[in-house]
């Protein structure tokens, strides 16, 4: 548990992306089960993760960032 820590927007966005959430309005998201979550609820879920779960989420965030940078570099090479 990492209560009272600053959870980055990147981690929240990674959680949303990799857990199949859909943005509904403002900071409201719908999970695949049909429940509506507020951004703060997702932050709280991340805060309550076990260390291995948090490690996995951080790893996914790092991979997403690397993939995005690779795609940007590819487009820059193509369109210069």
Please report which helix (H) or strand (E) contains residue 36, including its range. Answer: strand 36-38
Backbone angles phi, psi at 48, to 5 degrees: -90, 5
Per-residue pLDDT tens for 8-48?
899 999 999 999 999 999 999 999 999 999 999 999 999 99
Give the span between the Cα atoms of 60 and 14, in whole angstroms: 7
pLDDT in the model for residue 79: 85
Domain residue extents for the chain: 9-79
- Give the pLDDT score at 3: 56
């Amino acid at each position: 548990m990492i209560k009272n820590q600053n959870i980055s927007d990147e981690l929240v966005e990674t959680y949303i992306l990799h857990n199949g959430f859909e943005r509904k309005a403002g900071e409201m998201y719908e999970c695949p089960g049909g429940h509506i979550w507020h951004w703060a609820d997702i932050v709280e879920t991340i805060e309550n993760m076990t260390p291995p779960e948090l490690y996995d989420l951080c790893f996914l965030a790092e991979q997403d960032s690397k993939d995005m940078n690779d795609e940007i570099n590819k487009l820059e090479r193509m369109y210069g």
